Chain A
Amino acid sequence: MLRYLTSRTLATIVMALLSTLIVFLIASLVPGDPVLAQLGDLAASNPEIVKAYRAKWGLDLPLYEQYWIFLKNLANGDLGISISTQRPVLADIRQFAPATVELGTIAFILSMAIGIPLGVAAAVGRDSWIDHWARFVSLIGVSSPVFWLAFIMLTIFYGWLQIMPGPGRIDPIELPPPTVTGSFLVDSALAGKWELLHTVAAHLVLPSIVLCAATLGLITRTTRASMLETLGQDYVRVARAKGLRERAVIVAHALPNALIPVVTLAGLAYANLLTGTVMTETIFSWPGLGLYTFRAALALDIPSIMGMTLVFAVVYLLINWLVDMSYAVLDPRVLKR
């Protein structure tokens, strides 16, 4: 067990480091010179200034040295300084992460809370209208382009019906709650600002629906398939034969087993929600990591892109690692391989 744990953990760390290397190689292909974009038009025409600027950010060194510096700093928890925001990437990430975590988490909860019951209902009532509708809805969810869905939702619910608040985390007039956790929901509750909590919750509705649409479909489909399989198992038949009520059979016997693959998928779904917010955040002016990454990519801000890729890769690897670990716990056969 311990050996499996350490080998998986080591592999995860190595992968995280390799992922930075890949990004570095891509960055080296970039024809643009970020320095020129950051300096004003006049300053960029002065070779002296350009040189000093390059030296300051270590951009005049050969690539492998830049990478080495990056790794050394990383060991000290330093991700370098963003060229476009001109402050530590870590400070940027710390500032933008809470918005993304909050949005991603709400979207995740939403997709599980709707997806699992829907999937179960579809499996139990197979071929009934609910099954057909669940199938249809989940296929639509998977098929809608996020950027378009966001536009339509904003236009209908904010612009036309006016029952939802607009982009951003809070109304323009409001001040954010005093920072404790970074989640506006939690912070405004902690501060006892119920009006604000209300606003914050309302602002989360549209973006989290848009963000979870695809995941919701996936969860529904997986739950349905897994539930169908479980319902055909012998022990479920036995439970029925014993004369248990159908509700008890489904909730107490079939569901727990049917949920195992869903839990595995849920881990990956959560990772995807956290790292897949670029479009949603761009359209909803959501000040999170997705928006930050998008801007960094457009500005070819290499330290930021590196930092973000690392963060996203680590989040992904971490969740994968957790899934691996949970496998080991749930299915001891894994350890024997």
Chain B
Amino acid sequence: MSELAAAAPVAAPAEPRRLTAAQRWRRRYGLATLGGAIIVLWIIVAIAAPLLAPYPPDLVDVTRRLKPPSSEYWFGTDMLGRDVFSRLLFGARVSLFAGIVVVILGAAFGTLLGGIAAYAGHRAEEALMRFTDLMLCFPPIILAMAIAAAMGIGTLNTMAAMLVVWWPKFARLARSLVLVQRGQEYVEAAHVIGYGPGRVLLKHILPNSIGPLIVLVTLDVGHAIIVFAGLSFLGLGVVPPTPEWGAMVSENRQLVEQWWGATFPGLAILSVVMGFNFLGDGIRDWLDPRARRR
């Protein structure tokens, strides 16, 4: 703080300003808490969608199409007269599910591969990491687009296509983390005691490297939600009439005058992705003492 005090033109106190416990807590965890709260809220919405939604999400009534937001239809209706608000609530299920599952599976597979590579060393490491690099050099959305087009449209197919391009970054991160840990004394000690490599990897190295992984996972769920919505937006995501946010933006974006159809699902994506980014960012600060806020 002392060096920063010099930079602050206004009041440069010799010692840290006194913050109340509450203020300090808010500074440190405020944004992360907000992010966490947003996510929890969306998860509740996703689970309770059938209870919360005023209408069934795929109730078609072409005589009530494109009604503007009102007390009857909070977010208006779309081209087929469906309630945008209800579809938005149900859409949370698809987006959250896709984002979380892709990242968790991708992280699990990538971490395992990266961990094994780093631990195995030599030829195996070289081969595995080159393969990882190879997958990394494709722009994810283009490769996913090609795979989704090849496999056919559907939530699970699109998620599979995303998985193909999702794991490599985790493999890279896991490898570098394990490389750092491998040289540590406690790992050597474990070897000396006679623990097998699998046990050392899972019981000793991974727990010690888990922090950065958690940060990446959290930040990445947001990214995955955007990519999934993007593929849906391009017409390669969900099978209609599944309510999904990216598809909803795509269906309604041509209607400039009827702005509600595309604006609200877009805001939904923005809010949930922001939630994950706030949380991930907060966890990173918390884990990294140098960047920690006071």
Residues of A within 8 A of B (CB): 11, 15, 18-19, 22-23, 26-27, 29-31, 124-128, 135, 139-140, 142-149, 151-152, 155, 159, 225, 228-229, 231-232, 236-237, 240, 246, 250, 272, 275-276, 278-279, 282-283, 293-294, 297-298, 300, 305, 308-309, 312-313, 316-317, 320
Contact = CB atoms under 8 A, between A and B. Distances in A.
B281 to A, nearest CB: 7
A26 B146 contact: yes
Interface in B246-276: 246, 249-250, 253, 256, 259, 262-263, 265-266, 269-270, 273-274
Nearest to A147: B233
Contact of A126 (B4, B130, B146, B151): B4
A148 B277 contact: no
B151 A229 contact: no
Main secondary structure of the interface of A (DSSP, over half): helix
Given A26-B147, A143-B274, A297-B149, 17 more contacts: A22-B138, A31-B150, A127-B27, A139-B277, A139-B278, A140-B274, A145-B269, A148-B262, A149-B266, A151-B262, A155-B259, A232-B3, A232-B290, A275-B142, A278-B145, A300-B149, A309-B143
Contacts of B21: none
Most chain A beta-carbon neighbours within 10 Å: one of B135, B152, B266, B278: B266
Interface size class, chain B: 35 or more
Contacts of A151: 249, 253, 262, 266
Given A11-B130, A278-B142, A298-B149, A145 B229 contact: yes
Contacts of B3: 231-232, 236-237, 240
B193 interface: no
Contacts of A22: 134-135, 138
B293 interface: yes
Contact of A18 (B134, B149, B277): B134
Given A15-B134, A152-B266, A305 B146 contact: yes
Contacts of B234: 278-279, 282, 294
B138 A313 contact: yes
A142 B226 CA distance: 10
B7 A125 contact: yes
Nearest to B131: A18
Contact of B151 (A23, A29, A309): A29
Contact of A145 (B4, B230, B259, B278): B230
Contacts of A31: 150, 152
B291 A312 contact: no
A45 to B, nearest CB: 24
Nearest to B27: A127
Nearest to B294: A127
A236 B6 CA distance: 13
A142 B6 contact: no
Given A15-B134, A127-B293, A147-B246, A276 B270 contact: no
A164 B180 CA distance: 51
Most chain A beta-carbon neighbours within 10 Å: one of B27, B246, B277, B293: B277
Contacts of A15: 130, 133-134, 137
Nearest to B274: A143
Contact of A148 (B142, B256, B269): B269
A7 to B, nearest CB: 12
Contacts of A148: 249, 262, 265-266, 269-270
Contacts of A305: 146
Contacts of B147: 26
A152 B263 contact: yes
Given A143-B222, A155-B259, A317 B137 contact: yes
17 contacts: A15-B134, A15-B137, A22-B138, A27-B146, A27-B150, A139-B277, A139-B281, A143-B273, A145-B246, A147-B230, A147-B249, A148-B249, A148-B265, A231-B3, A246-B6, A297-B145, A313-B137
